[in-house]
Amino acid sequence: MWFKNLQLHRIPAGWSMSVAQMEEALEKHAFREGGSLEMQVQGWAPPREGGELVHSINRQFLLAYRAEKKLLPSTVVNQVTRAKAVELEEQQGFKPGRKQMKELKEQVTDELLPRAFGIRRDTRVWIDPVNRWLVIDAASPAKADEVRSLLLKTLDITLENVELNEAPVSVMTSWLAGNDAPGGFTVDQDVELRSNTDEKAAVRYVRHPLDGADVRQHIEAGKRCTKLAMTWNDRISFVLTDAFVIKRVTPLDIIKDAADPTAEGEAEKFDADVALMTGELARMLDDLIEAVGGERQMDKAA
């Protein structure tokens, strides 16, 4: 149930919507089964099977964006289109022109779509009004953009970028160069170092000690740290990127052992998991923001 990726946004101080208001807004854009000729559909779905569109606990909200896309490979469409073009040429005595080929391709697509398989993908969203976070569990910016687009159509909400006082790439490089992780964090054994040259030469270490001379030599040669595996308080491991996106989030044994043993049934277990995840991640994000030098916007607000 834990988020694997954290695409981070700030929401305005004082933003507030009741569960009923959010539920009503999401219902207007709820996911529905696509028609036979629709290539892609999207909408909001329950985060928990059989639950409501908004899952709320401890003033934390969980949403689920659902997208379904038909799998219709262009190679298949082109193959069928070419076969039909041959038939059409035999009928009319000359090769079909560009306009006819376009119409033929559209016709083939319409014929094949109802038989195409649909791939469904859910992307979860966590809204934390208490700490002003909106977090999307998406691995790529493109996937996060899809969610943001529908979210802004659905809710009366403004999303702000996380503006840091220092660039993550500079901070991570400094940690590596000095072999000095910030308090509460440890540097693990995965890293990506990338040069600033036009070639963007990159070196990646996986499960490799990062306190050796080879890593320092790359940094001295001008390479900068763009991805760094870390662990927070022996509780959560993750990879921090130069865009301040957090990937490969993994709760460690100490958190798994803290799961509520009294929770009964799927609904109670889900509530317990959400409460545990949001509480731990909120504390980790506070510590991480401090570790990288704080936020410009937050500093101004203070």
75-114 pLDDT per residue, tens? 888 888 989 888 888 888 888 899 988 988 988 888 887 7
pLDDT tens-digit readout, 44-75: 999 999 899 999 999 999 999 999 988 878 88
The DSSP string of 163-218 is -BSS-HHHHHHHHHHHT-PPTTEEEEEEEEEE-SSTT--EEEESS--SSSHHHHHH
- Cβ(271)–Cβ(263) below 8 Å: yes
Element (H, E) at 21: helix 19-27
* 301 — pLDDT class (breaks 50, 70, 90): very low
Phi-psi region of 93 (alpha: psi -120 to 50; beta: other; left: phi over 0): left
Pairing mode of beta strands 236-241, 117-128: unpaired
Query: Residue 204 has what pLDDT?
Result: 94
Take residue 27 and report the two structure tokens written for it: 């219902």
Query: Residue 255 has what pLDDT?
Result: 85
Query: Residue 71 has what pLDDT?
Result: 81
pLDDT tens-digit readout, 142-194: 999 999 999 999 999 999 999 999 999 999 999 999 888 999 999 999 999 99
pLDDT of 299 strictly over 60: no
Name the pTM for this structure.
0.84
Phi-psi region of 265 (alpha: psi -120 to 50; beta: other; left: phi over 0): left
Q: What angle do CA 166, 191, 134 make, to 5 degrees?
A: 50
Take residue 206 and report the two structure tokens written for it: 């996986």
Quote the DSSP letter at residue 119: E
Question: What is the pLDDT averaged over residues 206-234?
Answer: 92
Query: Residue 200 has what pLDDT?
Result: 79
153 φ/ψ angles, rounded to the nearest 5 degrees: -75, -25
- Cβ(250)–Cβ(232) below 8 Å: no
Question: What is the pLDDT averaged over residues 286-299?
Answer: 86
Scan for tokens 């569990």, then name that residue: 137
Task: List, in order, residues 6 or more apart from 108 with CB less than 8 Å away.
Answer: 77, 80, 81, 84
Q: How far apart are CA 257 and CA 251, in angstroms?
A: 10
Query: Residue 297 has what pLDDT?
Result: 61
Q: How far apart are CA 196 and CA 192, in angstroms?
A: 13
Query: Residue 61 has what pLDDT?
Result: 98
pLDDT of 264 strictly over 90: no
The 8 Å CB, 24+ separation contacts for 286-289 are 286/131, 287/184, 287/185, 287/232, 287/233, 288/185, 288/232, 288/240, 288/246, 289/162, 289/164
Please report which residue ranges of 194-302 form alpha helices under DSSP H: 213-220, 253-256, 265-291, 296-301
Query: Residue 300 has what pLDDT?
Result: 44
In this prediction, what percent of the chain has a pLDDT beyond 70? 97
Query: Residue 271 has what pLDDT?
Result: 92
Task: List, in order, residues 6 or more apart from 223 with CB less than 8 Å away.
Answer: 193, 194, 195, 201, 203
Task: Mean pLDDT check: name the lowest of 29-33, 92-96, 139-143.
Answer: 92-96
Query: Residue 232 has what pLDDT?
Result: 98
Query: Residue 245 has what pLDDT?
Result: 98
Residue of 237, 267, 201, 244 lying closest to 47 (CA atoms): 267
Question: What is the pLDDT averaged over residues 269-293?
Answer: 96
For residue 97, how many other CB atoms are within 10 A of its CB? Answer: 9
